[in-house]
Structure 1
């Protein structure tokens, strides 16, 4: 199993440009070649480090999901991953990616994991994320967020982040009118989100 979000050392933008020319590389490129080259200035190594201390922003999540071919896809559920862990899964290949060994808060039936969810529009773009949130049974500050994009070509790829929050529960919120981007709110809660069933058991 791949620990955390691992950047493929053997894959580069140059490799992907070659793939567009040679048929034998055709399985290595994304359906939209433009989406392969990350946004200038986005440092994935730094992002992975920061994810140990804060929730990733919607725009950052979208960049990782759009460039998922740069990273190793985790092939099996992690076993009790600690706070700060990041994983990419393909939901078509690994349906049980949520079975991570942690004890999450359950619904009234005592079996089904209680997850809140929301649909998030990212800034002024057409990008949208579907996000699911779970809270620890013994420690509600330990949380799991699973996000994927509502875009046909990549909607099976899900980014999962684990984090123990230090303050009040957080959620993704509307963009700031002045900046046009999403930010994390330290004062908002998940109480307005819908509860859904998950595959955990």
Structure 2
């Protein structure tokens, strides 16, 4: 079942705010009023996960400039997130909020929970300011994601939101030509 075009479901969770080293409570309301990237990953103190989260940190400044906030989520607790942040060279660079989902509610809400393993799959979601999912990507455990693609996806999603009736073609870049779907375009692309 696709989550595209659907509003995020309610949740409450404890999180580690990496920017100030504090524990905070997060809910679906934190994902509203701005663009949000939610990055699920299987587990702290693992192998592919730190490379992905560090890569996400490398894109953080540019995503913030676009008005987007990042949240990472695993089924570990917020305490484990802090311990990982304190002991990993890659994770110690992270400035975004790391949400603990030991109840697995958030992972189920986003349909990325591997029920047998009790871990989240590698899922990335872009949520608009209204709390509606605009993009989703889910990878197998062994396939790391490239966070640089999020910048272009956010720009395209923002353009489409601000320009009703226009769409962004493949490999669209900011400032490039868009399309206006109409009868005149049928069979001509």
Q: TM-score, normalised by structure 2?
A: 0.27
Does 1 or 2 have the higher relative contact order (CA < 8 Å, sep 6+)?
2
Q: TM-score, normalised by structure 1?
A: 0.26
Q: Which protein is richer in helix relative to its size?
A: 2
